[in-house]
Amino acid sequence: MSVLQELVAGIGIPNFKVLIPEIIILLTALVVFTIELLTKARFLITVITALGLFLAAIPALTMEQGDITFYGLYSVDTFSLTFKFFLILSTFFVVIVLRPYLESKRTYYGEYYYLILFALLGMMIMVSAPNLVTFYIGIELASITIYILAGMFKKDYLSKEGAFKYLILGGTGTAIISYGIALIYGRTGSFDFVTVADSITQSNLDVGGVAGIVLLIIGLALKASSVPFHFWTPDAYQGAPTPITAFMAVAAKIATFAVILRIMVEAFPFAYEIWNLGWALLAAASMIFGNFVALKQDNVKRMLAYSSIAHSGYILAALAAPTDVAFTALIFYSLVYIFMGLGGFIFLSALERQYSWSNHIDDFRGLAKRSPMLALFMLIFMFSMLGIPPTVGFFGKLGIFLALIGSDIWWLAVVLVVMSIVSAGYYLRVVIYMYMHEPISSARFNLSLGESFTLAFMATAILILGIYPTVFLDISQLLGNFLIQGVGR
C-alpha cells in the first residue's frame, strides 16, 4: 500500500461530483485567463465566459442530492444550490452586457471576465459554507476580487476613490468578522455551525458569545451595506463601471443575504433574541437613511445606490422575526431583487453608452418619446422597487409585512410602510422625467442584443412573477423550512 492509498483509506476522497458547478467556474476562469494572455479576441472571451456560466448552471439546477463534503467543510444542499443557480444567472446577465459597455468607455480589459468568475466562485463558496472558516474564505475571495473590479476605471478618479473606500471599509469589515469568528471559536471551541449552535443558547450567553455574535453582525452588515456601515456603498457603486455595479448590487448582495440568513439560523438558532434586535435596528436605520438620502440625489446611478441600501433594509427587516415566514420572505425578496436590481443598473449601463448620457436625472427627460419600450422597462423596474402591484416588488414587501405583523413587530412594519411612501418620491421622479417632460435631444438609442434581451427579460420576469409568484414562493418556503429543519441536526 502506497502512502497515497493509505491516506485515501484513512480520510476518504472528497465527493467531487457535487462540486461540479464550482469546478466548471474555476476552470472557465483559468481558461479565460489563459486566452486573455494569448489573444485579444474579445468576443471569444465573452462567449467562453457565458458558456462556462451556462454549463455551471445546469448541474446547479439539476443536481438532486446534496452532500456535506471536504471533511465537513463544504455543504452542498438545496439552499446553496438554489442560490448558486441564481448567482450564476445574474452573473450571466452581467457578462453579456459587459463588452459593449467597456468598449464604448474605452476601458476594455480582459481581466474583468476572470475576476468576475473568481468573485462568483467566492460567493458560491459563501453560500455553501457550513462552517465559519469556509464562509470566511468565500467572503474574502469575493470581496478582494470586487475591490479590484470596482476600481477598474483606471483613469477615472471617482472609480478609484470608490474602490479605495470600499477596500478600506471592506477590509475593516472582514477584520471585524474574523475577530467575531475568533471570539466565537474561543467560546465554543468550534467553527462548525452545528456545534456553535449547540453551545451558544439563550440561557448560557456570556460576554464572549454576545461579543462574537455582535461583531459578526456588524461585519456582515457592512458587507450588506446596511446603515450605519454603508459609507462605501454610494461611492463604490457610483464609481464602478455600471455592469460591475449591477454585479455588486445584485449578486454580491444576494450572496451576503443568503449567508447572513444561514449563519443566523444555523449557527445561532438559540440566541435569536440578540440578532433579531440587532437586525431590526440595522434594517430600520437602512430604510430610513437610504430612502431619505435617495430623495436628494440628482444622479440616478447614485440614487439607485441609496435605493439599494433601502432595499437591504427591507430585506434584513425579515430577520427581526425568527419564524419560517420571515425566512421565506427574506429568501423570496432576495431572489426577486435580482430582477429589479439588475434591471435598473443594466438599464443605466445600456444608456451610458449613448451619446451625452451622464445618468443625471435631466437625461431622463422625455425618454418615453425617444424610446417607448425602454421607458416602459424602466417604469416597470421603478414601480417594482416601489412595490406597486402587479409587479413582483409588491409580493416581496408583502412577505416581509406578513412576517413582521405575524410576529407582532408592528413598529418595524410601520417604518417599512412609511419609508415605502417616502421612496415613492424618488422612484416617481424618474417616471415623471421620462413621461412628463419634453425630450431635450432626439438622438436615437442603439442597444446591443445582449442589453435588449436582458432588459426585456427582467421586465417580463417582474410582471410574470408579479401575477404568478407561486413558484418562487414555493422555492423560498422550501429553503426556509430546510434551514429550520437543519437546526440542531
Partner 1 sequence: MTVEFVNATFPIITVSIVIPLIAAGLLFLLDEKHAKPVSIITSIIVFVLSSYMLFAYDYSTYKIQFYEKYTWIPYLGVSYEVGVDALSLTMVWLTALCFVAAFVWSTNIQKRIKEYFISFLVLEAACIGVFVSWDLVWFYIFWEAMLIPMFLIIGVWGYAERIYAATKFFIYTFFGSLFLLIGVVGMYIYQYMEKGILSTSYFDLINLGLPFRLEVIFFLLLALGFAIKVPMWPFHTWLPAAHVQAPTAGSVILAAVLLKMGTYGFVRFSLPWFPEASKYFMPVMFTLGVIAIIYTAMMALAQTHIKRLIAYSSVSHMGFVTIGTFALNMNGLNGAIITMISHGFTSAALFLAAGYIYERVHSYEIKDLGGLARFMPVFATLFMISAMASAGLPGLSGFVGEFLVLLGTFDVSKLTAVLAGISLIVGAGYTLWLYHKAMFKESELSSSKIERWEKLRDMNTPEFLSFIPLVVLMFVIGLYPAWWVRLLEKTSAAILSKFIGG
| Chain positions contacting partner 1, by CB under 8 A | 328, 368-369, 372, 379, 383, 388-390, 394, 398, 401-402, 405-406, 413-414, 417, 420-421, 424-425, 428, 431-432, 435-436, 468-470, 473-474, 477
Q: Residue 78 has which C-alpha cell?
A: 438545496
> 238 or 307: whose CB is closer to partner 1?
307
> 245 or 420: whose CB is closer to partner 1?
420
Q: Residue 161 has which C-alpha cell?
A: 476613490
> 60 or 294: whose CB is closer to partner 1?
294
Eight-class DSSP state of 364: G
> 227 or 375: whose CB is closer to partner 1?
375
> 182 or 478: whose CB is closer to partner 1?
478
> 241 or 480: whose CB is closer to partner 1?
480
CB of 484 to partner 1, least distance (A): 15
Eight-class DSSP state of 152: -
Residue 405 CB-density burial (10 A; 0-12 exposed, 13-18 middle, 19+ buried): middle
> 242 or 420: whose CB is closer to partner 1?
420
CB of 129 to partner 1, least distance (A): 28
CB of 280 to partner 1, least distance (A): 17
CB of 421 to partner 1, least distance (A): 5
> 30 or 418: whose CB is closer to partner 1?
418
Q: Computed from CA positions of residues 167, 168, 173, 177, in that sequence, does the dihedral angle turn out positive or negative?
A: positive
CB of 97 to partner 1, least distance (A): 24
Taking the C-alpha atoms of residue 44 and residue 169, their distance in angstroms, rounded to an integer, is 36
Structural contact between residues 348 and 454, judged by C-beta atoms closer than 8 angstroms: no
CB of 64 to partner 1, least distance (A): 23
Query: At 325, which helix (H) or strand (E)?
Result: helix 324-352
Residue whose C-alpha cell is 459554507: 129
3-state SS, residue 195: helix
Report cis status (omega within 30 of 0) of the bond before 21: no
Q: Which residues contact 313 (CB under 8 A, 6 or more apart)?
A: 226, 227, 282, 283, 284, 285, 286, 287, 288, 290, 419
CB of 470 to partner 1, least distance (A): 5
CB of 467 to partner 1, least distance (A): 8
Residue 71 CB-density burial (10 A; 0-12 exposed, 13-18 middle, 19+ buried): exposed
Which residue, among 377, 386, 380, has the nearest Cα to 351 in the 3D structure?
377
CB of 428 to partner 1, least distance (A): 6
Structural contact between residues 204 and 197, judged by C-beta atoms closer than 8 angstroms: no
> 273 or 474: whose CB is closer to partner 1?
474
End-to-end Cα distance, the chain: 37
Residue whose C-alpha cell is 457578462: 95
- Alpha helix ranges (H) inside 353-409: 367-370, 372-386, 392-406
- Alpha helix ranges (H) inside 263-299: 272-295
CB of 435 to partner 1, least distance (A): 5
> 16 or 468: whose CB is closer to partner 1?
468
Structural contact between residues 463 and 391, judged by C-beta atoms closer than 8 angstroms: yes
CB of 202 to partner 1, least distance (A): 24
3-state SS, residue 50: helix
Question: What are phi and psi for residue 400, nearest 5 degrees?
Answer: -60, -45
> 212 or 469: whose CB is closer to partner 1?
469
Taking the C-alpha atoms of residue 332 and residue 400, their distance in angstroms, rounded to an integer, is 9
Structural contact between residues 297 and 234, judged by C-beta atoms closer than 8 angstroms: no
Find the helix packing angle between 392-406 and 324-352, rounded to 10°. 150
Taking the C-alpha atoms of residue 413 and residue 409, their distance in angstroms, rounded to an integer, is 7
> 56 or 416: whose CB is closer to partner 1?
416
CB of 78 to partner 1, least distance (A): 16
Q: Residues 41, 342, 252, CA angle at the centre, nearest 5°?
A: 85
Residue whose C-alpha cell is 467543510: 73
> 182 or 388: whose CB is closer to partner 1?
388
CB of 65 to partner 1, least distance (A): 24
Residue whose C-alpha cell is 420576469: 461
